């Protein structure tokens, strides 16, 4: 399966099965500095409420929405990102006169959450560095997703070293699936010897429907050949992968680092990759890569408090990709 071309198609809607309770990982003290340094906790969200470990700017609808396609729609609010996924003026004019446009779900596709012990440790690191943070508790994060007008939220743990992916993924399966409006995510680290088995366990046994890879925290590149089983499995199972490529402080991306994604996207045209933060600050390079690969998407989540500057013209040029 590694490195093979798996034929172009889009992901089919999937279900999120219920799972049994998993174990909770211990705090990884040796890696907490890297974890806290690159975690982004946004202090404010729409309406002035404080958010949990998630974005103040929604990333909506165009990214493969299959993990949430089976859920009924909830309340909606108009946003720039919602417009970008709804199509151009010409698309709107094609509807019969007098018909309503279907509501567009508002999805925060970039929420970090961890087991409480690890979350508190990360928060302590951030607070000591002067970063304004909010509640690390999953129930409060889940409530914020609804309170701020989002219909769904992708819960994204990330494995910062070997030996933590399995317990993180099992925690997500046990805890996050209690909330129907949250989409449970998984994470992996290429240093794990049982990497292919961990991927299979997350997708098949736990039913986790999205992946987060944090290259800067985990200190690896998407070009790492040990990731090939993940690319192949995610393409086969229809699981999108949100990836933070940048290795620079505080999680910034160089244009050269984006180059590693090209061969992956070419080898697996059915694999849908979401580029975190639109490759900030090398946004033009990211847009160029998106122009060459129609299975590459992007989110507009800030890096810390640095807003991703994407113009309406860019959204129009890449309709359905943000």
Distance CA 128, CA 132 (A): 10
Q: Mean pLDDT throughout 60-82?
A: 32
* 56 Cβ neighbours under 8 A, 6+ residues apart: 42, 43, 44, 45, 46, 302
Give domain 30-69+104-313's CATH number out of 2.60.40, 1.10.260, 1.10.10, 3.20.20. Answer: 3.20.20
> Does this model's pTM top 0.85?
no
pLDDT band at 225, cuts 50/70/90?
very high
Express each pLDDT in 34-56 by its tens digit: 333 333 222 223 332 223 344 33
Distance of CA 292 to the CA centre of its chain: 21
- Asked if pLDDT for residue 27 goes beyond 50, the answer is no
- Asked if pLDDT for residue 65 goes beyond 90, the answer is no
pLDDT for the residue numbered 85: 25
**DSSP 3-state of 127:** helix
Distance CA 42, CA 144 (A): 12
pLDDT for the residue numbered 104: 78
Q: Render the burial of 12-25: b for 16+ CB within 10 Å, e for the rest.
A: eebebeebeebebb
Determine the number of helices (DSSP H) and then strands (DSSP E) in the chain.
13, 7
CA separation, residue 184 to residues 21, 88, 100, 212 (Å):
13, 31, 32, 11
Q: Give the residue with greater pLDDT, 62 vs 263.
A: 263
Express each pLDDT in 81-140 by its tens digit: 222 222 222 233 344 566 676 777 888 888 888 888 777 776 766 666 555 555 667 888
Tokens for 266?
A: 């070419």
- Break the chain into its structural domains and give their ranges: 30-69+104-313
Among the listed ranges 48-52, 149-153, 242-246, which one has the minimum average pLDDT value? Answer: 48-52
pLDDT for the residue numbered 257: 85
């Amino acid at each position: 399966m590694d490195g093979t071309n798996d034929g172009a198609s889009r992901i089919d809607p999937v279900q999120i099965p219920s799972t049994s309770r998993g174990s909770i990982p211990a705090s990884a003290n040796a890696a907490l500095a890297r974890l806290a340094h690159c975690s982004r906790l946004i202090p404010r969200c729409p309406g002035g409420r404080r958010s949990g470990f998630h974005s103040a700017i929604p990333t909506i609808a165009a990214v493969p929405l299959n993990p949430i396609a089976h859920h009924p729609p909830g309340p909606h609010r108009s946003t720039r990102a919602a417009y970008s996924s709804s199509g151009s003026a010409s698309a709107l004019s094609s509807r019969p006169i007098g018909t309503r446009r279907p509501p567009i779900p508002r999805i925060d596709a970039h929420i970090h959450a961890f087991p409480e012990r690890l979350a508190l440790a990360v928060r302590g690191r951030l607070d000591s560095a002067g970063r304004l943070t909010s509640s690390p508790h999953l129930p409060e994060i889940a409530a914020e997703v609804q309170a701020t007008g989002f219909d769904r939220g992708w819960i994204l743990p990330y494995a910062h070293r070997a030996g933590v992916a399995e317990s993180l993924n099992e925690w997500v399966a046990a805890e996050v699936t209690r909330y129907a409006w949250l989409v449970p995510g998984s994470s992996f680290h290429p240093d794990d010897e049982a990497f292919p088995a961990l991927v299979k366990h997350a997708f098949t046994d736990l039913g986790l429907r999205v992946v987060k890879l944090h290259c800067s925290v985990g200190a690896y590149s998407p070009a790492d050949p040990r990731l090939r089983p993940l690319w192949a499995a995610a393409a086969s199972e229809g699981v999108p992968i949100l990836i933070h490529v940048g290795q620079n402080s505080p999680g910034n991306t160089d244009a050269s680092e984006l180059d590693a994604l090209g061969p992956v996207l070419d080898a697996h045209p059915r694999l849908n990759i979401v580029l975190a933060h639109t490759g900030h600050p090398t946004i033009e390079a990211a847009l160029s890569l998106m122009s060459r690969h129609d299975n590459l998407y992007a989110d507009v989540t800030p890096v810390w408090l640095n807003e991703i500057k994407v113009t309406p013209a860019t959204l129009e040029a890449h309709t359905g990709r943000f």
